[in-house]
Amino acid sequence: MFNFFNELKGRLGKVDSNLFCEYNIVNMSGRLLYAEGHCGITVITQTSVAFKLKKGRAVVEGKDLVLSELTENTLLLQGKIDKVEIF
C-alpha cells in the first residue's frame, strides 16, 4: 500500500518528529478515509468502524463502509463517511 505520510514527510524535509508520531488520518471528500497508526480494529459494521490508537480510539460513522485495505498499522475505508471522532 502506498504510504501517504511517508511521502509527505519526504517532501517536507526537516519537520518536528512529533508531528507524525501517534496517528494520521485523512478524510477525502467524505468517501475515502486513510488512517496510519492504528493498533487494531475493535468494531466493523456497514455504519461504524472503530480502531485503537496508541493513546485513544477513533470511531468512523457513515453508510456502506467497506474496509478495502488493511496492514499492520494502516487502513483504508470506503463509503459515505459522516463523522470521525477521536477519543
Q: Is the pTM of this model over 0.85?
A: no
pLDDT tens, position by position, 18-34: 666 689 899 999 999 99
| Structural domains in the chain plus CATH codes | 4-86 (2.60.40.2000)
Contact status, residue 35 vs residue 84, Cβ threshold 8 Å: no
pLDDT tens, position by position, 44-72: 999 999 999 999 999 999 999 999 999 99
List strand residue ranges (DSSP E) for the chain, in order: 24-28, 32-36, 41-44, 48-53, 56-70, 74-86
Q: pLDDT value at position 8?
A: 72
Confidence band, pLDDT 50/70/90 cuts, at residue 12: confident
